[in-house]
Structure 1
Amino acid sequence: MVMPFIWMILGSFKTDAEIRQYPTEFLPREPTVENYETLFGRLDFTTFFINSIVVAVFVTLGNIVFCSMIGYALAKLEFRGKKLLFALVLGTLMVPGVVTFVPLFVLTANLGLVNSYPGLILPFLISPLGVFLMRQFMLSLPDELIEAARIDGASEWRIFLRVIMPLCGPAVATLAILTFLASWNNFLWPLVVATTEDMYTLPVALALYSVGQNAARYGLMMAGAVVVVVPVLAVFVILQRYFVQGIALTGIK
């Protein structure tokens, strides 16, 4: 499982000729940072990196906020149509994303959000999986805490912010990792919505610029892949303890 990552890192320090040679060599014969210089110099990968960071961070924060709010309502509040609403949320999990892709793009275009940060962010600010995850976790929290807060005169907003959310660390960490990973690696939607280079995200830029006129530029591709993978690994390493706990407590198999 680890070998492809090691090969990717080592390949990012090789020239294309060395990568294509047969028989191939595992270690770089003459290590070079030319691929990284091309990424951050001539191809302005810094802009693409910033775009990916902005989109992934805002999408992750939006999911944490809105999925937590809906999860709390479905888990701890009583209102008419609650079971039907939750059934609809579960139903959307069975709908492939490609089914809603065209209607979503038409809606985004009609709102004038093409080639903009809102166009890249707003369609993914909430996810049915996130709602399900937060609801399942909040169901495990004792109702006595909420009842005690209500007796003390706390409003629902105060209960949600001061009682419920501090107890949802593992679920929030799990949701943050899954959402950040999905947003960071999202390729098809940014490819369609971003029409100019200054709005490209890393996966789009990597796919478009790692292919030359005659052949793929494998060294450049592997260097870009390293840049794409490192932030995701960093987030997972930081939150992995909460991620494992959140998976165990929310019943996701």
Structure 2
Amino acid sequence: MINMTSHISTDITQGVMQISINRPEKKNALSQQMYRGLTLALQQAQQDDKVRVVLLIGTDSCFSAGNDLQDFLGAGELNAQHPTVQFLYELAQFTKPLVAAVAGLAIGIGTTALLHCDLVYAADNARFQLPFTQLGLCPEAASSVLLPNVAGYQRAAQYLLLGEAFDAAAALSMGMVNQVVSPAELMALAQQKAQQLAALPADAVQCSKALLKRSQLAHTKETIAAELVQFQRLLHSSESQARIAAFFQR
């Protein structure tokens, strides 16, 4: 077990790097330090030939409640040096298989990150939400193109414009997750699928992933960049600042 930060750790077993998000006191909200840890973990997995698959997990009761807003607001402009931005691009261009196991809350980046994963398994207690407009903001992580690709325009608009929460059954029906099981079964299933991938010829698996993503990778990166421009603009708007201030007063 290697601690990338105090809340991000990795462990490699039989070709699978498990990246764990563990900040339960903040519902696994991601700080800039945690984004750095996640980016570093993905970079190490990319460079290590012994790593064939990455499995991303949270805790038993929470995948991630999204950005640690207070920390995020103090991190400066959304430029190439910003830890959140670096993580988004690392995630989008990662060439090895990415598997996610999701239990409990998956809010904001906790949901949009899943759109970059190749296989997603959810516990039946998983709850997803993309509350960007509720904070006076816009989608991020290329979710404005990836979610319509998965769910179709109308359902993507429902979740990205209204910011309505949805459960694991809805995520399954729209194709955002591969399978839903009980919380007690989740880790065993995700680990089994990750090991199944790791046992296959790595070159063939990575080549197949590259072909699957070939038509969308450039568009994904362009969309991340376009979203960041608008996200930065909206973040400084009076409406967004009022909404965020109200969030902190809850």
TM range, smaller chain: under 0.3
Larger radius of gyration: 1
Q: Which has the higher contact order (CA 8 A, sep 6+)?
A: 1
Q: Scaled by the length of structure 1, what TM-score is found?
A: 0.23
User: More helix per residue: 1 or 2?
Assistant: 1
Greater strand share, 1 or 2? 2
TM-score scaled by length of structure 2: 0.24
